[in-house]
Amino acid sequence: MTSIADQLPPEIAKQVHPDWRKNEAGYWVARGKLISTYEGQWIGFADGEVIASGTSPVEVLHAAQQSGRHPFLICVGKEEEPCRIRRCVFNYDTTYPGESLPLMSVEFCQASGSQGELLDRVIPDTGADASVLPWADCQLLRLLPSQGVPGLLSGVAGGSTVSLAFQVWARLDGQDYPCRLQADFAGTERILGRDVLNRLELLFRGPAGEIIVNP
């Protein structure tokens, strides 16, 4: 069976950790025995066993990555279902003032409590399953392909591409939140998805043109 990692850009694919590839292959061998217990759940699979499970992919990712065993992360029974990101591209009408786009500044960190990188122009998007940063930003955060978990990423129009998911933290209003960060090798938008937004209280004040975190 062809590894999902081999659909990544070649220079990235060759850096995926060999233990992740071993765990991916091991999952497909064990899948028949796992589906009766874990169907519909997210799991982290490593060295022939489930090391984390649950309904929240960001929580399972963070728990499984703590093992340092380069786990394979998957939703059992929905292996072909991508992480969906709402992304639409429109041509601007330059003669019309248009609608304002809400933007935030978010500090992304490799570890909770550590110093990270403060990024601006991050779009809070409730239509996104997970948070997304362009690969250039991931490199700024010093994220390595060998640390990532390959998986599928899809836009609202359908189709899918392979991404790398990273266990990071998003810092807003002085608080760190677990984040399932997807690397985007083609796009340029910074998106804060429901992996983080569902842990926040946000007030969108459209007329004032501002977002208030934890009002």
Measure the CA–CA gap between 6 and 180, rounded to whole angstroms: 21
Q: What is the pLDDT, as a whole number, of residue 44?
A: 97
User: In 3D, which of 154, 44, 62, 73 has the Cα closest to residue 109?
Assistant: 62
Confidence label for 45 from pLDDT (cuts 50, 70 and 90) = very high
Domain 104-213 fold: Cathepsin D, subunit A; domain 1 (2.40.70)
> pTM of this prediction?
0.78
Q: Give per-residue pLDDT as tens, 67-112.
A: 999 999 999 999 988 887 754 333 323 343 456 778 888 999 999 9
The ranges assigned to domains in the chain are: 4-79, 104-213
Chain Cα centroid distance, residue 16: 16
Judge contact between 105 and 173, C-beta under 8 A.
Answer: no
pLDDT digits (tens, 9 = 90+) for 19-28: 999 999 999 9
For residues 177-181, average pLDDT: 96
